[in-house]
Structure 1
Amino acid sequence: MKKHFYIFFAIVGILTACSDETLPKPKGGLRLDYAPAEYEKITTEANCPFTFEVNKLSHLQQEPNKCDINIEYPAMRATIYLTYKKIDGNITKLLKDAQKFTYEHTIKADNIASTVFANDTTRVYGMFYQVYGDAASQSQFYVTDSVRHFVSGSVYFRAVPNYDSIQPASSYIEKDVQKLMESLRWK
């Protein structure tokens, strides 16, 4: 009886295995959807000489009595680091340092695209650098009024720099950096 039982299930298994068609699975990818950005004007804790707008999904961290600000994106494991410097006859050095810092990424970057930013009405002038490739930072920028104030910034992810993997988050934060530059006002 046991022998017939095993033979029966073997035959059923062979017949049912042959009847199923093998279909290839469709190609797919990781889909990362982020909430639409909503911006709010921030006031710094240290009475910094500037204001700007940030995405409500971010969190600000600022050391007491300093105008260096970290804008954290916990869901994306990313941070925008802002550094403020007062211009004291050293605008050329500040500009060279910001550009040098950006172009140090050429070792790992495939390309670095620069975009000039100028708003004569608010006296905010600067440069935005988009870094393509497996570099440590995907975006760098600076803004200045060319007389008294200089703010530089960079975007870093707390992950191994793999451009394909962080590209959706990088594109999202890039728009926030552009909004920050557009909304920045000197006091």
Structure 2
Amino acid sequence: MKSRLSKFIVGILIGTLCSCGGETLPKPKGMLRLAYPAPKYEQASLDCSYNFEKNNISKFERAKNNKKCWYNIKYPKLNATVYLSYYDVNNNLDSLLRDAQNLTQEHFIKADAIQPKDFVYPEKKVYGRIYEVTGNAASSCQFYVTDSVNHFVSGSVYFKVKPNYDSILPAAKYLRNDIIHLMETVQWKE
């Protein structure tokens, strides 16, 4: 009996020593792969002084403040909304531009960087700027377009989650491309 117990203990010790064949490494964290459908754009039906194309996965609605030509473009799959505000230009373009730029600068506290990109389409009378905000700021993208004489539209992208730039980056890039398309397809009605 003692011999069997001794052999058993020796077997366990040998098995334990042999099983330690190498260094144990932690598994890397898995990353969620977010894939969104290829955008298909359609004309937004507005009763306003401007029009543009929007992604057909979005839902379009009038803003709850009932201001003329203020709209929300909701992206339920991305848990995000693009808020659009329209203003008539009445010798106040400097003030509208300053307000749009100040709104973007308010995010600078939490942002790692804010990168502006100008849009100039003189043949369509569309001039604007988009600000890509990187970091854990509340808004990942801000923009405005104007004809510099009569019309001014500003917009902001907000996600309905606590800002975590790494997590929302795929959705933020997808929306940034939609915003660029919106800016490129703006048409002013006289």
TM band (smaller chain): 0.7 to 0.9
Structure 1 position 79, deviation (Å)? 0.3
2:116 aligned partner:
114
Cα drift, residue 42 of structure 1 = 1.2
Question: Which residue in 2 is equivalent to 1:80?
Answer: 82
* C-alpha displacement of 1:172: 0.4
Residue 95, structure 1, aligned to residue 97, structure 2:
yes
The answer to whether 1:124 aligns with 2:123 is: no
Amino acid of the residue matched to residue 167 of structure 1? L
Structure 1 match to 2:53? 53
CA drift at 1:65: 6.9
Which is further off, 26-35 or 125-134? 26-35
Matched, 1:32 2:34: yes
Shift, 1:27, TM fit: 5.0
Provide the rounded CA distance (Å) in 1 between the counterparts of 2:100 and 2:151: 14
Q: Deviations over 1:138-176 (max 9, x none)?
A: 000000000000000000000001101111100000000
Cα deviation 1:1-46 (Å, max 9, x = unaligned): xxxxxxxxxx9xxx8xx87x898646531100011111011121xx
Identical-residue share of aligned pairs (%):
50
Distance 2:176 2:61 in 1: 19
Q: Aligned partners of 1:32, 1:158: CA distance in 2, in Å?
A: 17
Aligned residues: 174
- State whether structure 2 residue 170 is matched by structure 1 residue 162: no
Q: Which amino acid aligns with 1:149?
A: H
Distance 1:65 1:174 in 2: 25
SS in 2 for 1:121: helix
Give the Cα separation in 2 of the matches to 1:103 and 1:117.
19
Show structure 1 runs of 5+ residues with no match. Answer: 1-10
1:66, distance to aligned residue in structure 2 (A): 2.0
TM-score w.r.t. the length of structure 2 is 0.84
The TM-score normalised by the length of structure 1 is 0.85
Alpha-carbon spacing, 1:74–1:90, altered in 2? closer, same or farther (3 Å): same
Equivalent position amino acid for 2:175 in 1: I
